[in-house]
Amino acid sequence: MGKQEKIPYSFINDYAALLSETENLLNENIIGVDLESDSLFHYREKICLIQISTESKNILIDPLSVKDMSPLSRVFSNNNIIKILHGSDYDIRSLYRDYKIEVNSLFDTQLAARIAGLKETGLANLIQNYFNVTLKKKYQKKDWSRRPLSESMLNYAVYDTCYLIPLSRILEKELVNKNRMHWFEEECELLSNVRPAPPNEDPLYIKFKGAGKLTPRELAMLEMILQLREKIASKKDIPSFKILSNDQIIKVIKKPPSSMEDLDALSDRQIRMMGKSIVKKTHEIESLQESELPVYPKNNFKSSDNGSPGSVKALKEWRQKVAEKLEIDISLICTNAQIQSLSISCSENIQKLKKTGILKNWQIDAYGYEICNILNSTP
């Protein structure tokens, strides 16, 4: 088992140094990139460290010290520089959220490993398997917003990028050998365009797991507590789950407190801290008329829009066979949502299939005719 040695790096914590390093990075053809954030410690998460590795050096950038990160935008948007990231969805959203930085020419090593059919696609597993180096996980959930960062944390951060370039070359060869490189390139192009969800006015319970199974009055209780949790979390600048967990919230909803004594029986300190507000709101909700209570939105699909059961079954059976043959995840061949849409699309031929926009180009090229045949042969 390979030992994790100290790797040299440059630490950038002022604008002049960032500007100078950006000019150097613009001469590179390929870079490895990773981010460290503070989502476990603050209400509004932010990027706390940016790691970049080139063919010859490693760079750690402190965005909490360098207030203007705009010079990096030229590097990340440059189509001539390949950006290697692992599991890049979160990082791409974060870069755009914090700095309006767009990432072009993306190579996502986790996505590459999945499309290549590898069973273990985590970065630590890939580096262990290909380079016999064990990555330490002890700093993964540390508070990266605290300063100064320890030497051991910085060394940990370097390891998240220093193997990305050689790893990408190994995975690229596997994709080329399996004739799946064009699949990967299209998926990376789509992935590079993900953005943070814009703020909306939907009730908070919409994103609460299991909310659809609650009664209208329980739903009103849930929204009240979620709103209260957000308000306190924002004021204290800590993640909302550290105020009340979802399990704790369900406890209160299932047994609404009419007094502080009722809350004491739950034996949760966090709940008791919010006790007066919860009890007051509980009384208000109990006095509401049925017509004033929220109703969880149901799917708008009509029964006739649910697709052909025969087509759905046939497509899933076909997908399973293809995935087993290629030894990859079935969702890469075709997602359940795509199958559902295909079953009602009336795609009798490739031309109509393309017009639906349901499938990606590589899916149509690889399996379009097979899919059309299935749709034409099932009731």
Hey, which CATH number is domain 10-191, 3.10.580.10, 3.40.50.850, 2.30.110.10, 3.30.420.10?
Answer: 3.30.420.10
- The percent of residues in the chain predicted with pLDDT above 90, rounded, is 76
At residue 76, what is the residue type? F
- The mean-pLDDT minimum among 110-114, 162-166, 171-175, 301-305 falls in 301-305
**Cβ pair 282, 256 in contact under 8 A:** yes
**Which pLDDT belongs to residue 255?**
84
Is residue 350 within 8 A of residue 367, CB to CB? The reply is no
Indicate the pLDDT class of residue 13, thresholds 50, 70 and 90: very high
According to CATH, what is the number of the domain 204-292?
1.10.150.80
Could you give the count of Cα atoms lying within 13 Å of 323 in the half-sphere of its Cβ? 16
Per-residue 3-state assignment (H helix, E strand, C coil) for the chain: CECCCCCCCEEECCHHHHHHHHHHHCCCCEEEEEEEECCCCCCCCCEEEEEEECCCCEEEECCCCCCCCCHHHHHHHCCCCEEEECCCHHHHHHHHHHHCCCCCCEEEHHHHHHHHCCCCCCHHHHHHHHHCECCCCCCCCCCCCCCCCCHHHHHHHHHCCCCHHHHHHHHHHHHHHCCCHHHHHHHHHHHCCCCCCCCCCCCHHHHCCCHHHCCHHHHHHHHHHHHHHHHHHHHHCCCHHHCCCHHHHHHHHHCCCCCHHHHHCCCCHHHHHCHHHHHHHHHHHHCCCHHHCCCCCCCCCCHHHCCCHHHHHHHHHHHHHHHHHHCCCHHHHCCHHHHHHHCCCCCCCHHHHHHHCCCCHHHHHHHHHHHHHHHHHCC
Residue 301 has pLDDT above 60, yes or no: no
Q: What pLDDT does residue 303 have? A: 41
Q: What is the pLDDT of residues 55-114, one digit of tens each?
A: 999 999 999 999 999 999 999 999 999 999 999 999 999 999 999 999 999 999 999 999
The predicted pLDDT at position 175 comes to 98
Residue 306: pLDDT band with limits 50, 70, 90: low
What pLDDT does residue 38 have? 96
Whether the predicted pLDDT of 247 surpasses 70: yes
Question: Which range among 163-167, 240-244, 327-331 shows the weakest confidence by mean pLDDT?
Answer: 240-244
From the list 166, 144, 146, 148, the residue with the least C-alpha distance to 157 is 144
Q: CA 142 to CA 230: how far, in whole Å?
A: 23
Residue 2 has pLDDT above 70, yes or no: no
pLDDT in tens, 318-375: 999 999 999 999 999 999 999 999 999 877 889 999 999 999 999 999 999 999 999 9
- Calculate the alpha carbon distances from 31 to 20, 168, 261, 265, 336 in Å: 16, 10, 59, 56, 35
- What does the block give as tokens for 269? 């300190």
Output the pLDDT for position 300.
Answer: 47
pLDDT of residue 141: 87
The Cα–Cα gap between 305 and 282 comes to: 40
pLDDT the model gives residue 272: 66
CATH 1.10.150.80 placement within the chain: 204-292, 303-377
- At CA 349, angle to CA 346 and CA 352, rounded to 5? 60
What would the pLDDT profile of 99-158 be if each residue is shown by its tens digit? 999 999 999 999 999 999 999 999 999 999 999 999 888 888 899 999 999 999 999 999
With tokens 């597993």, the residue in question is 125
Q: How much is the average pLDDT of 229-255?
A: 90
Comparing 247-256, 285-294, 367-376, which segment has the lowest mean pLDDT? 247-256
CB count within 10 Å of CB 308 equals: 15
**CATH code assigned to 303-377:** 1.10.150.80
Domain with CATH 3.30.420.10 in the chain: 10-191
Peptide bond into 309 cis (omega under 30): no
What average pLDDT does this structure show over 22-37? 98
